[in-house]
Structures are given as structure tokens and as C-alpha cells.
């Protein structure tokens, strides 16, 4: 059973950079793609991107220009950076794990989520 825990500031100013970290326990870092997914208030889920333990990444085309996901395997953590945030980036941010190998990725384990509010 993989356990994921998000951490980071709950309030970010408009035009600045949102930074979150996800700590992983209970699973092999090499067995999954490590993902960030967000959910704006009252809206559906939006995939942001994921990273493999090798450092290979894939991002949602709609966010690609502003997103960086990185991984620190020694700490069993991966991180999200989202630049130039606006009010539209206010959301609950989840980290999640997608089993690697099939090519039809699904999200097996999820963190509890953390609310990030962008203020003007």
C-alpha cells in the first residue's frame, strides 16, 4: 500500500510560483509514474503531469509551458512547480501514483490533497 502526502504553501500570490512536494512511503519508487492532478472548486479532475523515477516527464499540453515536475529518489519525494499562477490555478492539488508498464495509465493511490489558493 503506497501512502502519499502533499505539502507546501496554501496561499500563493498571483504571478508567482506554486511549489508543492509529495512524500511517498510504502511502495517502490521505481514501480510507478508519480503524478500531480488538480481539482478547481466545484469542477472536475485535471491531470497536470507525471514523472518516472528515471526523470522522464509528461505534462498536460494545456499547462506544459508553466509546469515542472521533478523527483528526488533518495528522499522518496517528487515535486511540482507551476509558474505565473492566476486565480484559475486555485484548486485542490493531489499527488497520485500510476502503475508503470501498461501504457494505459490509471491512478491507483492518491494523497489527501492540499488546497492552494491564489490571491491577488
Partner 1 sequence: SYVLTQPPSVSVAPGETASITCGGENIGTKSVHWYQQKPGQAPVLLIYYDTDRPSGIPERFSASNSGNTATLTISRVEAGDEADYSCQVWDSNDYHAVFGGGTKLTVL
Q: Where along the sequence are the contacts to partner 1 (CB under 8 A)?
A: 35, 37, 43-47, 49, 58-61, 94, 102-108, 110-113
φ, ψ (nearest 5 deg) of residue 22: -120, 125
As measured in angstroms, the least distance from the Cβ of 120 to partner 1 is 26
- Closer by beta carbon to partner 1, 16 or else 105: 105
For 28, the grid coordinates are 517502490
- Closer by beta carbon to partner 1, 41 or else 120: 41
What distance, in Å, lies between the first and last C-alpha atoms of the chain?
A: 40
As measured in angstroms, the least distance from the Cβ of 92 to partner 1 is 9
Rg of the chain over all Cα atoms, to the nearest angstrom: 13
Q: How many residues does the chain have?
A: 120
- Closer by beta carbon to partner 1, 18 or else 37: 37
Distances (CA, A) of 7 to 10, 61, 100: 9, 25, 24
As measured in angstroms, the least distance from the Cβ of 29 to partner 1 is 20
Amino acid at each position: 500500500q503506497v501512502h502519499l502526502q502533499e505539502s507546501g504553501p496554501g496561499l500563493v500570490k498571483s504571478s508567482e510560483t506554486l511549489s508543492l512536494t509529495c512524500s511517498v512511503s510504502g511502495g517502490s519508487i521505481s514501480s510507478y509514474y508519480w503524478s500531480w492532478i488538480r481539482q478547481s472548486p466545484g469542477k472536475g479532475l485535471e491531470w497536470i503531469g507525471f514523472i518516472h523515477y528515471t526523470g522522464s516527464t509528461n505534462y498536460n499540453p494545456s499547462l506544459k509551458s508553466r509546469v515542472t515536475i521533478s523527483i528526488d529518489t533518495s528522499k522518496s519525494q517528487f515535486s511540482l512547480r507551476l509558474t505565473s499562477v492566476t486565480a484559475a490555478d486555485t484548486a485542490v492539488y493531489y499527488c497520485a501514483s500510476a502503475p508503470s508498464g501498461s501504457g494505459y495509465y490509471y491512478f491507483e493511490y492518491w494523497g489527501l490533497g492540499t488546497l492552494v489558493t491564489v490571491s491577488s
